[in-house]
Amino acid sequence: MLSRYLLIVFALTLAACNRQEQTHTHPAEHPAEKYTCSMHPQVIQDKPGTCPICGMTLVKITSGGGSGNRVMLNEDQMKLANIRTAVARRGSVGETVIVNGTLMRDEEKSEVIGSRAEGRIERLYMKETGRPVRKGQPLYTLYSETLLTLQQEYLLAREQYDALGDTEKRYSSFMQAAEKKLLLYGLTRKQIEALTPEKALEPRITFVSPTSGIVTEIGVSEGAYVAEGTTLYRIENIDSLWVAAELYPGESALVKTGDYVTVRVNGFESSPVKARVRFLSPEYRDNSQVMTMRATIGNRDHRFAPGQQAQVSLTPSSRPAITLPADAVIRDGKGAHVYVMSGRNVFEPRMIKTGVETSDSVEITEGLLEGDTVAVRGAYLLYSEIILKKNSNPMAGHVH
């Protein structure tokens, strides 16, 4: 009995010694630090350095605590990947209907230049359509006996005023009437002030443009005799343009005069502009269910031209909601998610639910708070970073 007891004690002591020996013989091994390139995850090195493929600074591969799907970039990687962030804010969002439209000249800004008097066209300064013209720029020179007579009347009235104006007030009204008549015939005040008795009167008067714009029509040629009122030029001011669109019955109810719509001109889709609806046809076109809408857009830099095609976005009912650019939302089999900045240049995916979507924005109904900083450009690069480098789904284990 005693020998069995001693055998058990010996076995226990031997086991304890073996465990102690294993503890001292095999200390806990710390994994060696590894470094990789964010753009080329196949590059892995044991020490810091640069990527042999793209030259970017290598980043440490982290393991253990923290989210396994967290992505950390340095400043060079942020610039190279063109990562852009924005703070989630509340904006207006609503159902959007897109219709096709065409840019047109604003007829309210069209100017018809007619001959102010009967005479002969001595010179045309603008001989080609499509030419830009500035306000005050010479347009044509007219020889007119009528204008010569009016100049003589003005000089006589001014001479009488200079001699008797201090005692006879009526000469002041005579001179003002003669001056106004010359202004109505198209002479400028500078031209009138240049008239003097000492200077020989010139029956050839140069007329200047009353507005700036594009010459779209020339109605006469040099040497032609014209009557008073003959159309000489048509000038279109394109500092603002019309956007004309055709609406069907279901679309015409979405907009009213005074509303603002979003316009994307072909070739400038990345720079949408706001346009205000100025006109809605009171009736449908004959034998159709089409109504005409016109909205006005600014064009002071003349980057748009009449005849260009455009898309008009109608958003009839909007409500305040947290919105993000459409490129910020990543979709996969698990649903939709965005990349939220959790530290300096550190991003982690977050599952969200979306609501109303337009061509350029998405409503966020769940998963995001106002004030969160989100990657709005380059989100797909962050998504591929996790897929390629960590060989995992960013939303694995997330259930909404």
The answer to whether the beta carbons of residues 276 and 236 sit under 8 Å apart is: no
pLDDT band at 242 (very low <50, low <70, confident <90, very high): very high
Q: Which range, 20-34, 210-224, 344-358, 374-388, is most confident?
A: 210-224
Q: What pLDDT, in 10s, does the model give residues 84-95?
A: 898 988 877 666
How far are the Cα atoms of 58, 73, 125 from residue 77, in angstroms, in the given order?
Answer: 10, 6, 58
For residue 64, what pLDDT is reported?
Answer: 36
Q: What pLDDT, in 10s, does the model give residues 276-303?
A: 999 999 888 888 889 999 999 999 888 8
Tokens 């047109």, residue located: 104
Determine how many CB atoms are found less than 10 A away from the CB of residue 135.
12
pLDDT of 23 strictly over 70: no
Tell whether pTM > 0.75.
no
386, exposed or middle or buried, with CB in 10 Å at 0-12, 13-18, 19+?
buried
For residue 63, what pLDDT is reported?
Answer: 45
pLDDT band at 21 (very low <50, low <70, confident <90, very high): very low
For residue 140, what pLDDT is reported?
Answer: 93
Report the C-alpha gap between 181 and 187 in whole angstroms: 9
For residue 390, what pLDDT is reported?
Answer: 55
Residue ranges in the chain assigned as alpha helix (H): 2-25, 75-80, 145-164, 170-184, 189-193, 249-252, 379-389
Report the C-alpha gap between 73 and 344 in whole angstroms: 9
> Which residues, 6+ apart, have CB-to-CB distance to 38 below 8 Å?
56, 59, 71, 73, 77, 81, 385, 389
pLDDT of 9 strictly over 60: no
Tokens of 176: 């003002």
For residue 235, what pLDDT is reported?
Answer: 94
For residue 15, what pLDDT is reported?
Answer: 45
DSSP per residue over 371-385, as a string? T-EEEEESHHHHHHH
Q: What pLDDT, in 10s, does the model give residues 98-134?
A: 899 999 999 888 889 999 889 999 999 999 998 999 9
pLDDT band at 11 (very low <50, low <70, confident <90, very high): very low
Of 28 and 247, the one with more pLDDT: 247
pLDDT band at 391 (very low <50, low <70, confident <90, very high): low
pLDDT of 376 strictly over 50: yes
Q: What pLDDT, in 10s, does the model give residues 311-368?
A: 998 876 566 788 888 888 988 877 888 999 888 888 888 889 888 777 678 888 888 8
The β-bridge relationship of strands 346-357 and 89-94 is unpaired
For residue 3, what pLDDT is reported?
Answer: 45
Q: What pLDDT, in 10s, does the model give residues 162-194?
A: 888 777 778 888 888 888 888 888 888 888 888
For residue 22, what pLDDT is reported?
Answer: 43
